[in-house]
Amino acid sequence: MTIYSKFSDVELTSFLVKGDHMAYEEIYNRYNALLYIHAYKKLGNREQAQDIVQEVFITLWAKHKELLDIVNMGGFLYTCIYHKILDLITHQDINRKHISQLSTYLRSKNSNTDFLVREKQLTVIIEREIAALPSKMRQIFELSRFKHMSHKEIAEQLDVSEETVKKQVKNALKILRNKLGLFVYLVFLLRF
């Protein structure tokens, strides 16, 4: 029976290239704990360190026929661990960026949705108060604010004096300011 613990890394590598399971097991026993400690120091996470070490050994066996040029098995395994750690950190950074972008997007969507809901509610309130104005006053007010007609144009269209139009618009604004409150009234003025 061959005792693999007596072989050098170079000899074990040559056996491993030929598919020798016992050589693979000896390499695993020699380096598993050392690689784990190294990975843990870099990552500070036991599970991630264990996963990375296992991935390296799985890859080692999967590609054992390609290891002909390896003269320093320890250096090769540490390099593999280093690259796996870099891949993991890069992947985590990308995930954090995606999560941050998604969070920002969701916050902006919620803000936009809140704004749209509030704007719609405000519009309904304003429209309701305009509809409650006396008929002639409402007609003059709507021509002034929504059709953007001048007092003179409204007076000619409705066959009333410009002074009447001016007074009706002024009274409508006063009624709306009292019913809607100052803030809503100012928003209304800015929009229309």
Q: CATH number for the domain including 76?
A: 1.10.1740.10
Out of 77, 97, 117, pick the residue that ends a domain: 97
pLDDT at 170: 83
User: Are 8 and 85 within one domain?
Assistant: yes
User: pLDDT-derived band of residue 26, with 50, 70 and 90 as boundaries?
Assistant: very high
Task: Classify residue 114: in a domain, yes or no.
Answer: no
Task: Classify residue 117: in a domain, yes or no.
Answer: no
Task: Classify residue 121: in a domain, yes or no.
Answer: no
Supply the mean pLDDT for the chain: 82
pLDDT at 57: 93
Residue span of the structural domain in which 77 resides = 4-97
pLDDT at 139: 87
Q: CATH number for the domain including 143?
A: 1.10.10
Question: Tell me: the pLDDT tens digits for 124-168?
Answer: 777 787 788 888 888 887 888 778 888 888 888 889 898 988 898
User: Are 92 and 161 within one domain?
Assistant: no
pLDDT at 187: 55
User: pLDDT-derived band of residue 114, with 50, 70 and 90 as boundaries?
Assistant: low
Task: Classify residue 155: in a domain, yes or no.
Answer: yes
User: Are 137 and 60 within one domain?
Assistant: no
When pLDDT is averaged across residues 49-62 and rounded to a whole number, the result is 93
User: Are 157 and 77 within one domain?
Assistant: no
pLDDT at 162: 87
Of the two residues 192 and 2, the one the predictor is more confident about is: 2
Of the two residues 110 and 96, the one the predictor is more confident about is: 96
pLDDT at 52: 93
User: Are 82 and 144 within one domain?
Assistant: no
Task: Classify residue 182: in a domain, yes or no.
Answer: yes
User: Are 88 and 144 within one domain?
Assistant: no
Out of 74, 97, 120, pick the residue that ends a domain: 97
User: Are 155 and 88 within one domain?
Assistant: no
Q: Which of 22, 5, 29, 32 minimizes the C-alpha distance to 64?
A: 22
pLDDT at 124: 78
pLDDT at 28: 94
User: Are 92 and 137 within one domain?
Assistant: no
Task: Classify residue 158: in a domain, yes or no.
Answer: yes
| pLDDT surpassing 70 at residue 111 | no
Task: Classify residue 60: in a domain, yes or no.
Answer: yes
User: Are 67 and 147 within one domain?
Assistant: no
| pLDDT surpassing 70 at residue 112 | no
- Full-model pTM: 0.51
Task: Classify residue 70: in a domain, yes or no.
Answer: yes
User: Are 92 and 141 within one domain?
Assistant: no
pLDDT at 61: 92
pLDDT at 30: 92
Number of domains in the chain: 2
